[in-house]
Amino acid sequence: MLPNTSDQEAPVQAREESVTVFGRALTSVISAGREILAKRRPFTADAKTRTDVLTALCKELQDHRGEASGLALAQEITEAYRELSPPEQLAFFQRLAEQFDTDREAILEAAERYRETSDLDHLLGISRAVEAPRQKLFRRINMAPDGTRTLVALRGDLLKVLRDHPELKAVDSDLKHLFVSWFNKGFLELRSIDWSSPANVLEKLIDYEAVHEINGWDDLRGRLREDRRCFAFFHPAMGNDPLVFVEVALTDAIPGAIAPLLDPGRGTIAAADVTTVVFYSISNCHPGLAGISFGNFLIKNVVEVLNQELEGLKTFVTLSPVPGFRRWLKKADLSDLVPEELQDKVRAPVGRVVEGEVQAALMRLCAHYLINVKSGELARDPVARFHLGNGARLHKIHWGADTTANGREQSASIMVNYLYDLQKIEINHEEYFDQGKISVSRSVSKLLD
């Protein structure tokens, strides 16, 4: 049975009413601030490019002291940024890197003063000197009604060009540093999403689903039926825009393929027969929050909620893709892994029918990839790194589990069960990060024998 939505409506309504009252007061303050700014605008906007105008606004906000006019300035900046084209965005990022960076001489002078007198004041002087002025700018932009959302979008745009413009890494580092604090787990709100949730939230699920595409409202309705659950984290500054969400299937067995889980015509089982919780899709909603960890905390919260809701739960497991497998496979040295006559065959695109020896070789290679191929000391595959880092066990590898074009191209149609054994999660987590040890089931280990 679904959660009692009437129990959820009262606090949601109270929260929305409180936000509305606060929003009206904030709008009034910003209107007053705009009037103040209009009387002493320090530059002529129509004489400059949009990047120049935005840069001037940022410098003005950085040195600003008035509260009302500061809020108005911050809102002008968020509005101006949203008008920029991609080339103008890049030019603005370069201004942030060059004109709002640290002062090398000031850092050296602060360090020398601390070397001469190692007291707290001089230590704090170093701290102030090494913080780039753009961090103060970002904090002030964040005061605007849509400031947080704009900065998240800004970082998303920045990440698109970062590889080709490494000189912008410091800007990204400053934003990520602030986001870690602003999106602290203590500010996150876990919500259960069902068919009665607000339409704008449901629309965002369709837009943001990154693992298994949702094909319209009928498909979404099937994913929110009585044998399914969906949970998301929200943040006060982002309104009804989720940060991350997880789709859950309630079953009586561990699944080995994705199609039956997504089938809108599937039969359902009684709540009393549910023994297994399957996390089959986790989607991060905002590229600008890349590197800010929500998913592991989300899964652990969902486990707690479902344990309270449903009796008889025994198994918590994923059905996960292996998105980096074929990308690695195409470039890897396979000379010690498969016979020479199979190397071209296992690298070839995967069709719906695969020779037995090629299938067996791909299963062995996938196990090798998940267990032995590392990025630093951790698993290279991003999904494996996430679940193993959470303390899950690599439980089972399934051939032909995702025969969609994307599943065959990325994962050679293979999907994986990661098992969350509630008694061993913390042990597995510690061993993974301290010793690089991956918890692996016997069935997966046998693939490498």
Q: How far is CA 303 from each of CA 195, 230, 415, 426, rounded to the nearest angstrom?
A: 21, 12, 22, 14
| Region of residue 312 (left: phi > 0; alpha: psi -120 to 50; beta: else) | left
**What gap in Å lies between CA 416 and CA 398, rounded to an integer?**
6
Catalytic residue, chosen from 212, 286, 387, 395, is 387
Instruction: Name the one residue in this structure whose structure tokens are 């509305």.
Output: 20
Q: How far apart are CA 308 and CA 363, in angstroms?
A: 37
- The SS3 assignment for 49 reads coil
Distance, in Å, from the CA atom of 52 to the CA atom of 297, rounded to the nearest integer, reads 41
Any alpha helices (H) in 188-275, and if so which ranges? Answer: 199-208, 216-223, 259-262
Return the sign of the alpha-carbon dihedral for residues 438, 386, 182, 89: positive
218 vs 216: CA distance, rounded Å: 6
| SS3 assignment, position 440 | strand
- Residue with token string 């001037």: 56
Q: Which of 69, 281, 320, 411 is catalytic?
A: 320
Catalytic, 320? Answer: yes
- Give the residue numbers marked as catalytic: 320, 387
